[in-house]
Structures are given as structure tokens and as C-alpha cells.
Structure 1
Amino acid sequence: MTTLTPARLFIDGELRDAAGGKTFDVISPWTDAPINTAADASAEDVEAAIVAARRAFDCTDWSHDSNRQKRLEICTKYLDLFKANFDRLAEIAINEGGCARGSVNREQVAMALAGWQDYLDVFPRVEWERDYGTREAWGMKNVRKSYHEPIGVVGAITPWNAPLYVNVGKVVAALLAGCTVILKPAPDTPSMGAIFGELANEAGIPKGVMNVVFGADPALAGEMLVTDKRVDLISFTGSTAVGKRIMQQGAESLKRVFLELGGKSARIVLEDDPLFERDVAMGMLTNHAGQGCAVQSRLLVHRSRYEEAKAILKATYENFGDNWGEQENPAHTMGPVVNRKQYERVLGLIEVGKSEATLLAGGKARPDKGPGYLIEPTCFVDVTNDMRIAQEEIFGPVVVVIPFDDDEDAIRIANDSAYGLSGGVCTGDVERGLKIARRIHAGTFSINNGMCIAGDLPFGGVKASGVGREWGVEGIEEYLEPKLVAIGSFG
């Protein structure tokens, strides 16, 4: 049995236990049993982290312009340390996060570290100053320039579905910008946050610049960060319901809020797609049990080929069979959902789907595969977009297949959602695909499976999918505030 290092808090440059030594058990999604212990942060611990981060920003030179290169060098060394701990990161992702071994070299570890490198690569393109030129007004000549400065103390609140990837997305961008950080990972995956503290001193990060707190209560630390005036920005990835609460609570102190929330993205397969069979089959959701905010969980197929698509999907699921759910199988990318609450929720929505539509494949829990939270890859057909399974984000291995009549109908269905995170269209006519892409209300979109999510590209959504952008140059600039300076002179 794998033994993980107990997760400890990191506050003001020190690894520490929670006040009073309180801990909580971390449950493995594979076994429904404890896999690790973690420090259970109290309000006292969170307060200490806020004090440390505030002092490090206000009273040290971390955020100064002269330290930009130093910050880049530190974040580069930090990445090297994470790369040296690749195997450990893999064990954490598998045992704490429930990913199958095959996902390690995808978004769970390898892509997260590749995204970190992307941040380092795009850092020279960050705009720190902008010249607005000279303007005459009231007999005075005005030279105008803006200076883009780090916003201050950042509270980074992250989820359990791809914890390393999201932690990197927030922490590295904020550090490069010159902010100080309090990382608050989900209680399901504290170790993927704790390691940021464990490696911080060796990377050369000054005291108070990087802090990590977590606890059994999913809300305590987060709500303290959101409501505290000493925290200047909240960057949150998670559910839309929690995102709305964060925006409401953050309004009291008028802090900047970045939200990357849910999705119910549409994958549109047009009748002219020359790779129709492949592109329909790719609509199957298996990777990490469908636990991704940007997964395309609504598969829209032209009505003229809808019956053909159903036959393709039926064969695809049958061929896939039981080739999933083995923890150490490097060919498997699908494991359990993350916890019992999510397990019961997904199964509940599957039961809703059985009453609304036609179950084509899957639809059951699989205790025969192990004692954890394993649910079969599931597909519903004969779905209309007003059904609950078409509107609610299931966040499990469930895809719904919806017919459409023409391009206008496909666009209408895709946009008939509270969400607007991602999507895609597959077609033999790129110009036709681009016209559709431009009319879908989403933050990212792919044509013919183009990779629209990468570390050097801005990522985020519209509507109930969030506010702001992560990754790329824009992801670093989220943590900067422009200051306009005008120099006046007569004559």
C-alpha cells in the first residue's frame, strides 16, 4: 500500500502542524479508506498566513520592478524541484486524487509542469509599462504612461479534479507578477498543495511570499480569505454555486475576483465531417471519469446522421468494455470519481437520465472493480436540451447526445446553457466551422479537435463559467493593476 507524506501547513517560511496539532484523514477514491493525514488548519493558522503574506508584500522588495528577473529565476528553480519530484507527484495524483496511472502523463502531472514552463516562456511578453503619448490640454503638455504593478496578496482557492494543474495556474502566475500567495487546496487533495510549501524554501522563495493552508472544513479558510480586507485578490476554481458566494462575499471589500467555474460544453459534429465516425466516438467521456470543467459533455449530431452516430457510440462503448478502472495500468486514464458525495450525486443524475432519455451504455456503479467510487462510462441518447442531464453539470463519465437540424439549430442548442466555458465543432469546411465558433458564447473553442487549452493560451469562460482568464500572458496580467501617471509641463 502506498504511504503518502502527511500534509503540513506552510506559513511564513515554515512547515508546521495546525494549531493544537489537529489533523484529518484524507480518503482515497480508490478504496473509500484513509490514504493520508493532513493538518487541519484553524482560524488562527489562516490568520497567521494572511499576516505573513501581507507583511511580505508590504515590507519586502519581492514585488519591486528590480526583482522581476529574480522572480523568474526562483520560479524556474521551483519548477526544477517539482520535476525532480515527478514520481512523488504521480503517487499523490493517483492515491489522493483518484487518477489512473495513464493520466499522470496528461493533465494530472505532465501537462501541469508543461504549463509551468509555458508561464516562464511567456513571462518576457508581460507588459509592465504602456506609453499613452503626449496630449495638450488647458495650455499644458501631458506625458502619459501606465505602470503595471502587482495587485498584492492573493488567495488561491483550488479544486480536487486537477489539483496540480490548477495550483500551478494560480500560484506561478501570481508569484511571477510579484504578488504574495496563500494557497488553499481542497480537503480531498491537500498534499498537492502542501508540496508547494515543502519545496518553497529550497527554491529560494522569501518568507511569507508563499503560504499553504487547508483543513477538513472546505469553507473555513476560503471564507476567511474572501472576507478579509488584507487579501487583495481571490482566484477561485470550482463550482458555480461557490463562485457566486465568493463574488458576493468579496464585494464587501471590493476585492478583485477571478472565477473559473463549471461548464456544460457542446461538441458539434456536422454531417459533412469526413472523420465522422472518429469524431463521434471521441465524444465518449472517460478521462479522469469526466471530472473536467471544460469537457464536452453534450454531443450534438446532425439529425440526418443521428442514428448512425448512435450505432457508432454503441460499438465504441462495447469495444471499450472494462478497459478502465485499474489504478496502476498505464493504459488506463479513467478511475473513480473523487469522493462519496460526488459518487452519489453522479449516480443520482444517472437515475434522472434514465427517466428522461434512453440509456445507450453504462449507467451503473461498479463495486466489482473495487471498493472505491467507480462508475461506468455512461451515454444517454434521444436527449433534448431541456432535460436536466443536458443542463446540469454532472462532472462524471456521462455524455448526452442531442440531435440538431441545421447550423442555426446547433448554435441555438449550444448556447442554450447557463455555462460558456468551451466547446468544439467537427466539419469538412473550416470556414463553416469558424462561422459557428464565432457565434458560440464560450471562452475557448476548437475546430476539428484543435487544442484550444494550453499553458501559453488564455483560458476562462463567460456566463456562469466565470470571470477572467488563467494561463498565458493574460493569466499573469490578471495579477497586475495598471497605474496611470501623467506628467504635466507648460511651454
Structure 2
Amino acid sequence: MSLLDADGSPLLIGGELRQGRGGTFATVNPATEETLGQAADADAADLDAAIGAARTAFDDTDWSRDHALRAHCIRQLRTALTEHADEIRDITVAEVGAPVMLTHGPQFQGPVDDLEFSANLAETYSWETDLGTASPMGIASARVLRREAIGVVGAITPWNFPHQINFAKLGPALAAGNTIVLKPAPDTPWVAAVVGAVIAEHTDIPPGVVNIVTSSDHSLGTQLTTDPRVDMISFTGSTATGRTVMTNAAPTLKKTFLELGGKSAFIIIDDADVVAAANYAAFSVCVHAGQGCALTTRLLVPRAHYDEAVNAAAKTMGSIRPGDPTNSGTICGPVISDRQRGRIEHYLNLARAEGGRIVTGGGRAPDRDRGYFIEPTLIADLGNDSTVAREEIFGPVLVVIPHDGDDDAIRLANDSPYGLSGAVWGTDQARIDHVTSGVRTGTLSVNGGIWYSADAPFGGYKQSGIGREMGIAGFEEYLESKLISTAR
């Protein structure tokens, strides 16, 4: 039996699967431009009910204090999602345009498996720490530091890796004892609604602990961030929207976790295999059509090897054709929407206007009559001050920039408002250490090392965000600290 009804996937509010008061809105397959079906369109009253349900579940139940129940429910969710993996995988490929190969990793199965890390934390985390006895002002006092759930979490998530980002918030927040209102992106409502159906029908998660509200109305994000019943906002999206989230949360002094944009640098040291490194950089920016905030989209290469790197990257990118995401061999599928494709085309036109050279790609895939496909595109002969080198494009676009040694590469990498991720390729460990120490960014890959893992914190410096997601640090974002001092 299908988890979703194509005539209107439901909201989850207070443990009940229901339709939205605003009717329904269409969700579209970005590879075919065809309407997949309808999603529940929540209005302000629906969101108000979801926030109220989350507030009641936190205030009036033992959810935040019953660590064993939380671990049990998170494992139930992981099991149920795995049992329905084929259906959810099909929905993900169709709605997100994600290549099916990625659903066996970060587009579905990886984030589902990572829920076990959150379940384990609920059971094993040290919720109290004995600070011993001290005598401030001559009064002997025994101190205990207790960690407790923050309360109601408003989670706002984007469309590019929806399962990864939804579960990176749901897992730790639930393990910490919070209740949640999840507002997913309107481009991908089904991948969130199907999780709501699994929660309601296949887990013991109490009513109101998780609420999932899909909507075409972007103003609901403002409502969620300003409501005084919400204690924390966990947001992943653009830096511009992150600023608005902070502004909206400020009057009630909500805690805000922000995972924002990036324009990350891939640095090749001159002792590296330049061709191999350039090939790796070119390949990675094509995965999922470049729709990843942590992808390295600036390739910084030694000036003496500039032409060699450009030719190698162009050969790799030119060999990757945008294709049907249901095909197991597809690496680069469509971008999410016609709007996003138009945005990428705007940047490509800017690159040309600023004097950039389009080495390969540069437009819509010529062999695709339908779908929002963009060719993998390599841009050369522009400096780090160019628009396409400074702004996040969110497409399969790589800009190659020459550097004049390790310190210059560090300077160029840091000459950005962002600081989310990066990569370094070389052979001399001392030089690698010098570069990794100098680059101000939240994650770095060295010679192809993978930093993505449930137990590893992810987040950025500067305008790439505030706080960390995943790992112990990500879990503790959802906790408050309470000091209890007892006179002896």
C-alpha cells in the first residue's frame, strides 16, 4: 500500500494526517516538467495548530525526560523508512531530480542509517555532570550541570538534499528531547510528507512531537520564526534568507542555528598530480547538477599549471552529460526548477559579460527537450573578484583561478564572504598542514578525504552559518545548560 496519495499528500499535525486548509499545490518532476501530483497546502491556521501541538507535547508529556522512549522511537523510524525504501527512493528521484545512485548514499539511505547515531546519543549521552563542591562567598555548594532539551524547534529546510537535511535536524532534535515543526521547501513537499506518513503509521512517536507542514506560502516561514511558542529555529538555506531568519527571531531572542551558503575553494598545491586533482574537482561539481552548498566551485591552481588544469577539468566536465536521474549511471541530473535554471543561465551570461571564457558547456543541454537540465560548465580567465567567483550559483559550474603559491592560494580561498568547505591536494604534508591551517572554513578535504559522517560536525565560518550540524556538536545545539547548586 502506498504511503502517499497523489491527489494530496497530507500534513502531520498533532499526530493526525490531514489535508491543508489552503487546498493543494502541485509538485513537479524536474526531469520531465510533468506534474507528479498534489501536496497539502497549509495556511497560517495549520501552522498555528502545528506549533500548538508541538508546544503541548513538550510541556505536558514526558517526551523530553524519557530517554529510552526517544531512542526506541528513532530506531522505529529508521526501520520503517528502510522497509519503505523503494517507494521513498522513487519519490525522491522523481521530485528532487536526484540521480538514483545518490539515494543509496546522501540522498536517502545514508541519512536514514545515521538516525542510529542519534538513537545511541539519547541512551548514552551524559545528561548530568558533577562539578564537585566549591565555596563561593564562603558557602559550600555541590554543583551539577544538567543538559536539557530547548523545547519547540522550528526546522526550515531546502530542496537540494532534503532527506539529509531533514534527518540531520529531526534525529538530533528528537534525541535531545525536543518537539519539532518541520517546514520543508515547497519544491519538494512529498519527500517530507512521506516521512510524516511513516511517523504517523509506523512509529510510537507521541502526537505533536513531530509536525510536518508543507505549503506553497513562503510567509509561513516568517510565522514560524516569529512565534513566541517556538524556542529555536534550525534553518538551512541561502545566506540572504538566513539573515531574514535571524532578524525575525531577534524580538523573541530565539536560538538560531544557520547552515547557509558557500563558495568553497579547491586548492591544488604545485607538488600535486594536477590532472588527477583537476579531474576530481570537475567531477564533484557535476554531482546532482552542482546543487550542494558544500561543493567546491572555485578551482585554485598553480599559475604554471593553469592551462594543464583547465584542459583536464574541461575534458572531465565535457564527458559528463546531464541525464535521466532514474538511470543508474547518471551523475548530473536536472536542476530543481525552471526558476533555478534561469538563475544559472543569468550567471553564465554575467561570466561572458565580464570577459570569462566558457571552456565547455555554457547552456541548456542540447539533447534534452524536456526537463531543467544545464550542461556542466567550466569558466576560465576570470579573477577572484568576478561575480561568478564570489556568488553561490548552485549549478554544475566551476571557475578556474590561478594562484602564485601556497600563501596566495590561502589568500584567494579566504577572499570570500563564505567559509563552508574546501579541498586541498598535494604531497608535502608540511605544506598541506600550512594550507589547511590558513583556510578559514568549517570543513576541509585533503586528497579526496570524505568529511561527511553522522559523528562529524558540519558547518561554516563567516557568512556560511552559525553553529554545527551532526556529530556531538550538532546534537548539543538542541540542548540548554542548567546549573543546580545545593548548599552543603
Provide TM-score, normalisation by structure 1. 0.95
User: 1:60 — aligned with what?
Assistant: 61
Structure 1 stretch 220-229 or stretch 96-105: which is displaced more? Answer: 96-105
User: 2:189 — aligned with what?
Assistant: 190
- The answer to whether the 8 Å contact 2:286/2:317 transfers is no
Structure 1 stretch 194-203 or stretch 412-421: which is displaced more? Answer: 194-203
From 7, 10, 14, the counterpart of 1:8: 10
CA 213–367 in structure 1, closer or farther in 2 if over 3 Å, else same: farther
Provide, for residues 349-392 of structure 1, a one-character-per-residue CA deviation record: whole Å limited to 9, x for no partner.
Answer: 01111222111110011253241110000001122100000000
The percent of aligned pairs where both chains have the same amino acid is 42
User: Which amino acid letter does the alignment assign opposite residue 291 of structure 1?
Assistant: Q
Q: CA deviation at 1:321?
A: 4.7
User: 1:237 — aligned with what?
Assistant: 236
Provide, for residues 132-182 of structure 1, a one-character-per-residue CA deviation record: whole Å limited to 9, x for no partner.
Answer: 222122221121121000000011100000001100000111111100011
1:487, 1:174 → 2: CA distance?
Answer: 30
User: 2:46 — aligned with what?
Assistant: 45
Is 1:444 the counterpart of 2:446 in the alignment? Answer: no
1:27, 1:223 → 2: CA distance?
Answer: 25
1:212, 1:102 → 2: CA distance?
Answer: 27
Q: CA deviation at 1:439?
A: 1.5
SS at match of 1:435: helix
User: 2:334 — aligned with what?
Assistant: 336
- The answer to whether the 8 Å contact 2:72/2:119 transfers is no
1:448, 1:123 → 2: CA distance?
Answer: 35
2:120, 2:450 → 1: CA distance?
Answer: 19
Structure 1 stretch 2-11 or stretch 246-255: which is displaced more? Answer: 2-11
Q: CA deviation at 1:271?
A: 0.9
Q: CA deviation at 1:127?
A: 3.4
Q: CA deviation at 1:407?
A: 0.9
1:383, 1:56 → 2: CA distance?
Answer: 54
2:253, 2:18 → 1: CA distance?
Answer: 32
What are the residue-to-residue correspondences of 1:92-491 with 2, within 5 Å? Answer: 92-124=91-123, 126-201=125-200, 202-217=202-217, 219-273=218-272, 275-284=273-282, 285-318=285-318, 320-322=319-321, 324-356=322-354, 357-366=356-365, 368-489=367-488
1:35, 1:430 → 2: CA distance?
Answer: 51
Structure 1 stretch 114-123 or stretch 300-309: which is displaced more? Answer: 114-123
- The answer to whether the 8 Å contact 1:367/1:374 transfers is no
2:156, 2:60 → 1: CA distance?
Answer: 24
Q: CA deviation at 1:104?
A: 1.8
- The answer to whether the 8 Å contact 2:274/2:308 transfers is no
Q: CA deviation at 1:28?
A: 1.4
- The answer to whether the 8 Å contact 1:30/1:370 transfers is no
- The answer to whether the 8 Å contact 1:336/1:373 transfers is yes
Is 1:29 the counterpart of 2:27 in the alignment? Answer: no
1:4, 1:255 → 2: CA distance?
Answer: 36
Q: CA deviation at 1:315?
A: 2.4
1:326, 1:59 → 2: CA distance?
Answer: 49
User: Which amino acid letter does the alignment assign opposite residue 310 of structure 2?
Assistant: K
Q: CA deviation at 1:336?
A: 0.7
- The answer to whether the 8 Å contact 1:237/1:260 transfers is yes
User: Which amino acid letter does the alignment assign opposite residue 117 of structure 1?
Assistant: E
- The answer to whether the 8 Å contact 2:24/2:39 transfers is yes
- The answer to whether the 8 Å contact 2:290/2:395 transfers is yes
1:103, 1:113 → 2: CA distance?
Answer: 13
Q: CA deviation at 1:305?
A: 1.2
1:216, 1:92 → 2: CA distance?
Answer: 19
User: Which amino acid letter does the alignment assign opposite residue 293 of structure 2?
Assistant: C
1:378, 1:197 → 2: CA distance?
Answer: 38
User: 2:72 — aligned with what?
Assistant: 73
SS at match of 2:296: coil
User: Which amino acid letter does the alignment assign opposite residue 48 of structure 2?
Assistant: E
Unpaired segments ≥5 residues, structure 1:
none
Structure 1 stretch 389-398 or stretch 302-311: which is displaced more? Answer: 302-311
SS at match of 2:293: coil
User: Which amino acid letter does the alignment assign opposite residue 336 of structure 2?
Assistant: V
Q: CA deviation at 1:116?
A: 2.2
2:121, 2:436 → 1: CA distance?
Answer: 26
Q: CA deviation at 1:328?
A: 2.1
1:265, 1:35 → 2: CA distance?
Answer: 34
User: Which amino acid letter does the alignment assign opposite residue 29 of structure 1?
Assistant: P
SS at match of 1:52: helix
Provide TM-score, normalisation by structure 2. 0.96
2:110, 2:366 → 1: CA distance?
Answer: 31
User: 2:19 — aligned with what?
Assistant: 17
Q: CA deviation at 1:313?
A: 1.9
1:208, 1:123 → 2: CA distance?
Answer: 19
2:317, 2:137 → 1: CA distance?
Answer: 73
Structure 1 stretch 195-204 or stretch 178-187: which is displaced more? Answer: 195-204
Provide, for residues 48-102 of structure 1, a one-character-per-residue CA deviation record: whole Å limited to 9, x for no partner.
Answer: 00110000000011011xx111111110011000111111121111111111222
- The answer to whether the 8 Å contact 2:274/2:305 transfers is no
- The answer to whether the 8 Å contact 2:121/2:175 transfers is no
Provide, for residues 426-452 of structure 1, a one-character-per-residue CA deviation record: whole Å limited to 9, x for no partner.
Answer: 010123212211111111112112111
- The answer to whether the 8 Å contact 2:361/2:376 transfers is yes
1:438, 1:461 → 2: CA distance?
Answer: 15
Q: CA deviation at 1:122?
A: 4.7
